[in-house]
Structure 1
């Protein structure tokens, strides 16, 4: 049953969605939350930049074949599968949910859970740290570019204001965090637990603002239980396809067991922590609620499936170590 236990952070997000549904912000209050969300997103990416060791990421390039496969899975395979699912008829998957699936597909990998599952499965943890970090570093640039290329007609335009928003809210704080790391990196490491609350609080603020806007604009009446069930199936199919492709592909390419595990876990994840704030920058406030719904479902599904898979990998290795 522990494998099926919901992620507490996902539960907090769902509770925030409930509050936004019952007590949505509107008018001047919504404007205030919009400003607070903009500042929170900037703070979030500043902390990402301050935490990420550029030296570790650059040193990890020595294992370039593994990282190339992870990046290809994250920013090539996933988007291609997302495009295929995007072509589903609107009667099966409404356009905004389809756009959300495609947005999910162009996001970077997670860091924390990729490393944790690789460790549980006894994979190459050092490569997982570098690979997941490189994915997030690349995602700062590649995700907005892919969104602009693939979803230009869904509220994610490529005009000057969109580019400026990406630079000011995502890239500039991240670079500032990298520059400040030499002075505050140690302090951030020592205070990781309280700063994690800042991270998650910022994301919950993003969720509340996005879903409040959706309620105010009246978009939620378009979503029924049937579409929600279809979305769950789509997320499961997407995850299964990537897990199968990364596992088989890593074996065909001749990687050892530990590296194959790293490729599977780093190449199959999508980052909720990066995706939610990115969505607020790249899409209109009223659209964000439905756009990020596939990501929220996929996040919980990937945790359940990958926790099970990591334990299976660990059990297989234990059996191999038992003397015949």
Structure 2
């Protein structure tokens, strides 16, 4: 009962659908693509500047203190999930184009979501405070860890990620975040008062990044590479990845001896992946003609995690009563 409204009420789904449809029917090509890429890079810089302003340093400090929860969580997200991505990449190589297969490793290396992981933790009766701090900490770590981890695990498949790419990440993602942290004492209240507008900034930047990525993929013949068999394989692999992520995160929380509320927070933080980090970072890591292929599994995973999370949270809430 809850899955349908959860999907329909999430504006991000509409943004992703619109951005993808625009890329399919009105892609940015030639000189227009260069201009669109510049707009995307500027928008990503602004987004991470704002992220630095709104994530309180006190939240980061609380996360560092609670190491018994956060060290295993970071190990799960950037260790186990990244290795799952590596395994699924090799499986996907058997049925899907290489760049799409690479997308499984890419989203396996990403941090978890902030908004939906926290929302579903609350709905399930989990530890919301822990979820909020955890999401902030994991996403900060992801800005620094995802690209090097992806490059290390991807080997030859990720060979295009060199020092120049890492430098671009530093300039477009890390630098504005650090500036935002430095000035947040003067700006955080102003940001907090405009929370709803800032949420639309997130969505707009992600939409632009997805549009630019898929425009390049459309120009390279994305539609012609996918038949019914390839779509079925992609869907099956993403469903399998999500099932493994959910089951693994829940079992890992139990093995750690976490209290039920903390285990629920671990479950949603450990199994969900962030398109808010994934789409902008892909726009920096990959050339426009390849980025759309790489993020295809991530976008499908994002949709399916929302489909599954709502009824799962409802069931956990009933079991806690």
TM-score exceeds 0.5: yes
Partner of 1:278, secondary structure, is helix
TM-score where L is the length of structure 1: 0.93
Shift of 1:89: 5.9
Equivalent residues of 1:111, 1:133 under 8 A apart? yes
Corresponding residue of 1:257: 260
Q: Distance in 1 between matches of 2:14 and 2:230?
A: 21
Matched residues, number? 318
Q: Distance in 2 between matches of 1:206 and 1:111?
A: 19
Corresponding residue of 1:322: none
Equivalent residues of 1:272, 1:295 under 8 A apart? yes
Equivalent residues of 2:15, 2:203 under 8 A apart? no
Partner of 2:66, secondary structure, is helix
Shift of 1:81: 0.8
Shift of 1:2: 4.0
Please report the RMSD computed on the Cα atoms of aligned residues, expressed in angstroms.
1.6
The structure-2 alpha-carbon separation of the partners of 1:174 and 1:156, relative to structure 1 and needing over 3 Å to count, comes to farther
Corresponding residue of 2:292: 289
Q: How does 1:38-187 map to 2 (within 5 A)?
A: 38-88=41-91, 90-154=93-157, 157-187=160-190
Q: How does 1:270-309 map to 2 (within 5 A)?
A: 270-309=273-312
The structure-2 alpha-carbon separation of the partners of 1:246 and 1:160, relative to structure 1 and needing over 3 Å to count, comes to closer
Shift of 1:68: 1.6
Shift of 1:63: 2.1
Equivalent residues of 2:37, 2:212 under 8 A apart? yes
Instruction: Tell me which moved more, 197-206 or 137-146.
Output: 197-206
The structure-2 alpha-carbon separation of the partners of 1:92 and 1:4, relative to structure 1 and needing over 3 Å to count, comes to farther
Q: Distance in 1 between matches of 2:261 and 2:60?
A: 19
Partner of 1:96, secondary structure, is helix
TM-score where L is the length of structure 2: 0.94
Partner of 1:151, secondary structure, is helix
Q: Distance in 2 between matches of 1:304 and 1:90?
A: 26
Q: Distance in 1 between matches of 2:203 and 2:256?
A: 38
Equivalent residues of 1:63, 1:127 under 8 A apart? no
Shift of 1:185: 0.5
Q: How does 1:17-32 map to 2 (within 5 A)?
A: 17-32=20-35
Instruction: Tell me which moved more, 215-224 or 176-185.
Output: 215-224
Shift of 1:48: 1.4
Shift of 1:183: 0.9
The 4+ residue runs of structure 1 with deviation greater than 4 A are none
The structure-2 alpha-carbon separation of the partners of 1:89 and 1:175, relative to structure 1 and needing over 3 Å to count, comes to closer
Unaligned runs of 5+ in 1: 319-324
Note the alpha carbon deviations across 1:2-38, whole angstroms, 9 max, x for none. Answer: 4135343223211221111111122222221111011
The structure-2 alpha-carbon separation of the partners of 1:159 and 1:133, relative to structure 1 and needing over 3 Å to count, comes to same
Q: Distance in 1 between matches of 2:124 and 2:92?
A: 39
Shift of 1:249: 2.0
Shift of 1:157: 2.8
Q: Tell me whether 1:244 sits opposite 2:260 in the alignment.
A: no
Equivalent residues of 1:124, 1:262 under 8 A apart? yes
Unaligned runs of 5+ in 2: none
